[in-house]
A = this chain, B = another copy of it.
Amino acid sequence: MRIGVLTALYQDLPFEEALDKAATAGVTAVEIGSGGYPGSQHCPVDDLLESQTKRDEYMEAIASRGLMLSALSCHNNPIHPDPEVAKLADDTIRKSVRLAAQLGVPVVNGFSGLPAGTPGDRMPNWVTCPWPPHFTEMLDYQWNQVAIPYWRETAQFIADQGVRMAFEMHPGMLVYNVDTMLRMREAAGPTIGCNFDPSHLFWNGVDPVAAIRKLGEAIYHVHGKDVYLDPLNISVNGCNDHKPYSEIARRSWTFRTIGYGHGLKVWKDIMSAFRLIGYDYVVSIEHEDALMSSDEGLSKAVATLKEATIFEQPGEMFWA
């Protein structure tokens, strides 16, 4: 297993400075935004697509620092009801996939996206309850009319490039938990897997170990991010919270650096579960801790993950 970092936390720094920061922090992999919400400040996608030389230089910048490129990330919404938004997202995904293929990067991270609730509506509509009945009706439209057709076709394109797509199960997206992940994977095939980020699962009451063991080989990439569940606020308002991320003292949950949402043992259990199902690629730290600087957040996340991660292959069970 390697510990990596999504370089978006250093998006204000030039590419190579960001890589220096990453290397200094002690990671051995980077995940780089190629558009969408993560931005593409560190990945000039069009330039790279056009030039083998630039690609070589790009990868050399990474490799020379003892890093590898674990994934391109272009979280966005290719099934957004606004055709422009959707088209841009789709373009970004396809370019990211082509670039990943050219760079030898096996996986592109993103979202499933979220359609509107019915044809003609302009806003994505996240359904988290089955009743009143219009919610169940919307799900039928969203899955069968929009998402499955899109991803079946797109998965084919991705597979043709020799790459795989990893959906981050995320609130506000059609694929937001294990059930919806496996449903999409069943519909669109094994080109679609997941980018497992426990921070979006904990606050729903998910036990990451149970989720990992259920997902098994469907896990293609992992995000290292934590979330704090505020017991005072949850006890009054519950975990479904649409207050802005900045209102930390009033929110029910807040993203935190690894170890500040859940203790070291929880993370050891997660890392052991990865080993058990055979996931042995990268845990890529995503810094989104509003109470910490990027440097401190990364440094603390790396320290905790280094304690929790199992790096070497196991030996013989001489005691069994």
Contacts and interface: CB of A to CB of B under 8 A. Distances in A.
Q: Which one of A210, A262, A277, A295 has the greatest number of beta carbons of chain B within 10 Å?
A: A210
A8 interface: yes
B290 A312 contact: no
Interface in A222-258: 228-229, 231-232, 234-246, 248-250, 252, 255-256
A290 B272 contact: no
Interface string A265-277: 1001100100111
B272 A293 contact: no
A214 interface: yes
Interface in A94-124: 116-118, 120-124
A288 B8 contact: no
Nearest to A76: B132
Nearest to A216: B249
Contact of A291 (B250, B256, B310): B310
A40 interface: no
A130 interface: yes
A160 to B, nearest CB: 29
A306 to B, nearest CB: 10
Contacts of A245: 130-131, 317, 319-320
A87 interface: no
B265 A293 contact: no
Interface string A198-231: 0001001111011101100000000000001101
Contact of A310 (B125, B255, B292, B314): B292
Interface stretch (A13-21, A43-51, A65-73, A170-178): A170-178
Nearest to A176: B240
Q: Which one of A136, A240, A250, A295 has the greatest number of beta carbons of chain B within 10 Å?
A: A240
Contacts of A259: 264-265, 268
Q: Which one of A234, A260, A319 has the greatest number of beta carbons of chain B within 10 Å?
A: A319
Contacts of A213: 232, 249
A188 to B, nearest CB: 19
A125 B128 contact: no
Contacts of A122: 117-118, 120-121
Contacts of A8: 318-319
Interface string A127-146: 11111101110110000000
16 contacts: A11-B318, A37-B132, A118-B122, A121-B121, A123-B125, A126-B128, A130-B243, A179-B243, A204-B238, A205-B229, A205-B238, A206-B237, A210-B232, A249-B277, A259-B265, A292-B314
**7 A-B pairs with least C-beta separation:** A204-B238, A117-B123, A263-B265, A121-B121, A245-B320, A293-B312, A128-B240
